[in-house]
């Protein structure tokens, strides 16, 4: 696939807590790092997202006595999966994977920093209304096609991809550069929803 100057590689949440030994480790998550580093060399424009939670975030199971990680509860903005405490602001787990090449990133979008609401997507908080500002940045820069890689396929990558399509961007998910949590069928559901939204799926860029 030919990479154009109006393309962006959007790297989702390749952080220590989502990799081996992390608080919310994605199986084989570390494997995306060399793939993403190789992809980064192909693009003139790269942006990163970073989960960035305050301590006691409302999406943490520890903030809801009697609840356990991976349970689902109702929040004012809808259903919310409860997670182990992860990606706490300034903590080692929130840092990017030490082998991830970040020098060429033009933008880092931090998300999930509002205590009362979680944020999977690079574009919106989980209320699906509160924007991160990424769409405006991309439009002002004249970037029209988004390639996604990172963690996890069925949560933050999925939500980002569907929102990119909803906002009118051509969207390509690079499967080799992603890994999934696959919680109770979430991966199959994510693939189906992305296909419906018009997200293009490729294994890799050769």
- Catalytic positions are 13, 111, 156
Beta-strand ranges (E) seen in 61-206 are 72-75, 78-81, 107-111, 145-151, 170-179, 200-202
Q: Pull the structure tokens for residue 103.
A: 């020098």
Q: Which of 109, 196, 205, 105 is nearest to 158 (CA)?
A: 196
Structural contact between residues 51 and 15, judged by C-beta atoms closer than 8 angstroms = yes
Q: Pull the structure tokens for residue 169.
A: 């961007």
Burial class of residue 103, CB neighbours in 10 A (0-12, 13-18, 19+): exposed
Q: Pull the structure tokens for residue 67.
A: 């609840």
In sequence order, which ranges of 89-197 are alpha helices (DSSP H)? 134-141, 158-166, 186-197
For CA atoms 187, 193, 196, 201, give the dihedral sign: negative
119: Cβ–Cβ under 8 A, 6 or more apart, which residues? 51, 111, 112, 113, 125, 126, 132
């Amino acid at each position: 696939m030919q990479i154009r100057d109006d393309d962006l590689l959007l790297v989702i949440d390749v952080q220590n807590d989502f990799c081996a030994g992390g608080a919310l480790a994605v199986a084989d998550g570390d494997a995306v790092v060399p793939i993403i580093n190789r992809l980064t060399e192909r693009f003139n424009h790269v942006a990163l997202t970073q989960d960035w939670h305050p301590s006691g975030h409302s999406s943490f199971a520890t903030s809801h006595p009697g609840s356990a990680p991976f349970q689902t509860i109702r929040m004012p903005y809808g259903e919310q999966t409860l997670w182990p405490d992860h990606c706490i602001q300034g903590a080692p787990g929130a840092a990017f994977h030490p082998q991830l090449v970040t020098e060429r990133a033009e933008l880092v979008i931090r998300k999930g920093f509002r205590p009362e609401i979680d944020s999977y997507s690079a574009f919106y908080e989980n209320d699906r209304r509160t924007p991160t500002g990424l769409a405006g940045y991309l439009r002002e820069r004249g970037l029209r096609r988004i390639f996604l890689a990172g963690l996890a396929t069925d949560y933050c990558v999925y939500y980002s991809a569907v929102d990119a399509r909803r906002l009118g961007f051509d969207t390509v998910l690079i499967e080799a550069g992603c890994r999934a949590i696959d919680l109770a069928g979430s991966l199959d559901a994510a693939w189906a929803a992305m296909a419906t939204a018009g997200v293009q799926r490729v294994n890799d860029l050769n």
